[in-house]
A and B are shown apart, each in its own frame.
Chain A
């Protein structure tokens, strides 16, 4: 009796001590994450909820928010500028596959042992770290119809270049080329890391089995870099759907006939030039939903075709 009583009191004491220890740890853990969690609630979650609510109101940012139901959304779907900026935004995403292809080829070339690899990596990465504002200013000048770098280079091979940013048909390609130029170093770096992580023995074994260069690419390199491609496509689409700085600096009025205006640029206009905050909030909600759907779809497709190396 006595013994068992002692035993229970001892376990109880241990339990108390243990729970005290846990309580200490919980408290410390809680305090350590508290600041970012508060930041998230204050600066992301609450504004997001306000934005969601504001999209159903006629808010102008100063006055009251009057609930007007789905009116903003109805107007939005009939707003030809909204559709145009949305299609512009997607149009400019054709730069994504082009950029990925170029960076993959560059990475393949650099993955062979060539002289000055570090220098190449640094050179291709310089545009990535450069400020988008400065780069946009630089390219705006490079696209100058009469004296810009681009047309002078074209002139060398006998092509008379257009006034890139003033032409409906060339303003989007101009922005795409610049975006590819700026982003290629980043994708290349990731591809390079992925390619170099493939064990050499795979290629040697494949070669012994008589696999052609294309087969080696198709069945070894491609599956190995697939996760990187997936990551890059997802992040590029998320980034590409928020294109703003380039457009705002290079074509401050949205380009000829709104040819380069993107959704975020239009949202910005509506919110901070026209003070139609409710309407702009509706645009931002639609944009957020589009981004979410595309990302979820990609995750779904990637899961179905995922490939694991044992």
Chain B
């Protein structure tokens, strides 16, 4: 199952001709890190890492706040037509991204946002409907009485949200945040659409371009090294939080 991934790591530690040795070597001989050295000298790699960090963190941090506030409101507060609005949002996630990307692209290019990180950041900051959905589900386990009690004690709604709701659903928020972060880090289609110049591109687009340009030179160690680097952050997060991530994914599907 992970043989292809091990092979990727193995390839990245070979020299250019070692890649083509027959029979194939699983343990590279010579064992060299030359591909990584050359990779780290590329400016695109570092700008790619920087852009990916900017996009993934700004989207997920702000988006998580807006999403959890909305989830609280949908789950616990009174508002006329609340369920209708929620249903409308849910229908919204059924609209496939390819169906809206063309007008989105034209609108963002009209306001001069193409080739900046803004089209990737701004829409995400308005929240994520999937996250709202799961947090709302999770909030149904939190008794309404604690909200009512806090109201009687004179707490305002923002205090109820920050002092009561957030601590109560912290594990769910954390799991959704991590899942979203991994999704944002791995995103390829939208960055490919909006970012043209190499210094603006996110890491996924950078490695795809390296793949296209270095494959002609059959520099597979470099290409594989770039892929390894792009996987490291997400895999590290996954290994650390694997228990929470796996539980949250399993739970969300069984419930939803």
Contacts and interface: CB of A to CB of B under 8 A. Distances in A.
A29 B73 contact: yes
A30 B69 CA distance: 11
A280 B95 CA distance: 16
B42 interface: no
Interface string A191-214: 011100100000000000000000
Given A26-B80, A291-B96, A131 B253 contact: no
Given A43-B104, A121-B246, A131-B204, A48 B95 contact: yes
Contacts of A35: 66, 69-70, 126-127
B254 A197 contact: yes
Interface stretch (A8-16, A70-78, A93-101, A238-246): A238-246
Contacts of A122: 238-239, 242, 246
A47 B98 CA distance: 11
A22 interface: yes
Interface string B224-238: 101100110011001
Interface in A163-194: 181, 186, 189-190, 192-194
Contacts, number: 246
A287 B182 contact: no
B103 to A, nearest CB: 4
Given A37-B89, A129-B234, A264-B98, A54 B79 contact: no
Contacts of B216: none
Contact of A47 (B78, B107, B224, B254): B107
A46 B123 CA distance: 13
A273 to B, nearest CB: 12
Contacts of B205: 133
Interface size class of B (residues with CB under 8 A): 35 or more
A288 to B, nearest CB: 5
Question: Interface residues of A: mostly helix, strand, loop or mixed?
Answer: helix
Contact of B254 (A48, A123, A186, A193): A193
B193 interface: yes
Nearest to B73: A32
Interface size class of A (residues with CB under 8 A): 35 or more
Interface string B204-245: 110110011001000010011011001100110011001001
B80 A149 contact: no
A242 B103 CA distance: 18
Contacts of B74: 33
A295 interface: yes
Interface in B183-202: 185-186, 188-189, 192-193
Contacts of A32: 69-70, 72-73, 77, 157, 161
Given A44-B95, A285-B99, A193 B80 contact: no
Nearest to A153: B3
B54 interface: no
Interface in B41-94: 66-67, 69-70, 72-74, 77-80, 82, 85, 88-89, 92, 94
A241 B67 CA distance: 28
Contacts of A133: 186, 188, 204-205, 207-208, 230
5 contacts: A25-B77, A36-B132, A127-B5, A132-B186, A248-B192
